[in-house]
C-alpha cells in the first residue's frame, strides 16, 4: 500500500513554487527518479562518447558528459515542477521548444569548444544536436506526463 502525502520539499527545486493542494505518491516519485537517473546517465555517457569518437579529446568528452547530465536533470526537475499545472498540449509544445533550445545551445557551446570547422566537427555537432534534442524531448514529455497525479 502506498502512502499518499505532499512531498513538495523533495519533488521540486527550491526556486519553483507550486500550489500546496497538489500531491502525488512519493513512492512513484522515487521510483521515477531512480529510473530517470540511470536513463540520464546512459544518455549523457552515450552523447559524450559519441563526441569523443569524433573529436578525440578526453577533456571535451568529460566536460560534455557533465553538461548533458546537467541539462537532463534540469529538464527532469522542470517537468516535475510545472507539468502538473499545465495541460497536455501545452506540456507538449513547451517540451518541444525547451528541448530544442537547450540542446541547440549546449551543442553550440560544444561546437565553440572544438574550435575548428572540419567535416567531422560539423558532423559531430549535428549528430549530438539531434540525439540530445530527441532524447531530451521524449524524456521531458514522458516524465511530465508520468508525473501527473492520478
**Sequential DSSP letters for 94-150:** HHHHHHHHHHHHHHHHHHHHH----HHHHHHHHHHHHHHHHHHHHHHHHHHHHTS--
pLDDT band of residue 127 (cuts 50, 70, 90) is low
pTM: 0.34
- Nearest Cα residue to 129 out of 68, 81, 59: 68
Q: Name the residue ranges covered by the structural domains of the chain.
A: 39-47+58-150
Instruction: Give residue-wise pLDDT tens across range 73-124.
Output: 666 666 556 555 555 555 566 666 666 666 666 666 666 665 555 556 666 6
| 133's grid cell | 534534442
Q: How far apart are CA 135 and CA 26, in angstroms?
A: 25
Contact 23, 2 (CB under 8 A): no
The DSSP symbol for 86 reads S
Determine the pLDDT at residue 22: 40
SS3 content of the chain, % helix, strand, coil (to 5): 80, 0, 20
Average pLDDT, the chain: 58
Residue 17 scores a pLDDT above 50:
no
Amino acid at each position: 500500500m502506498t502512502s499518499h502525502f505532499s512531498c513538495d520539499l523533495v519533488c521540486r527545486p527550491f526556486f519553483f513554487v507550486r500550489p500546496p493542494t497538489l500531491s502525488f505518491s512519493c513512492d512513484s516519485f522515487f521510483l521515477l527518479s531512480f529510473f530517470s537517473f540511470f536513463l540520464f546517465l546512459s544518455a549523457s555517457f552515450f552523447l559524450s562518447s559519441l563526441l569523443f569518437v569524433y573529436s578525440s579529446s578526453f577533456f571535451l568528452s568529460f566536460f560534455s558528459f557533465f553538461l548533458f547530465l546537467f541539462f537532463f536533470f534540469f529538464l527532469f526537475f522542470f517537468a516535475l515542477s510545472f507539468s502538473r499545472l499545465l495541460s497536455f498540449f501545452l506540456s507538449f509544445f513547451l517540451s518541444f521548444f525547451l528541448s530544442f533550445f537547450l540542446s541547440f545551445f549546449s551543442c553550440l557551446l560544444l561546437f565553440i569548444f572544438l574550435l575548428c570547422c572540419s567535416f567531422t566537427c560539423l558532423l559531430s555537432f549535428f549528430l549530438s544536436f539531434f540525439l540530445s534534442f530527441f532524447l531530451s524531448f521524449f524524456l521531458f514529455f514522458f516524465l511530465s506526463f508520468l508525473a501527473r497525479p492520478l
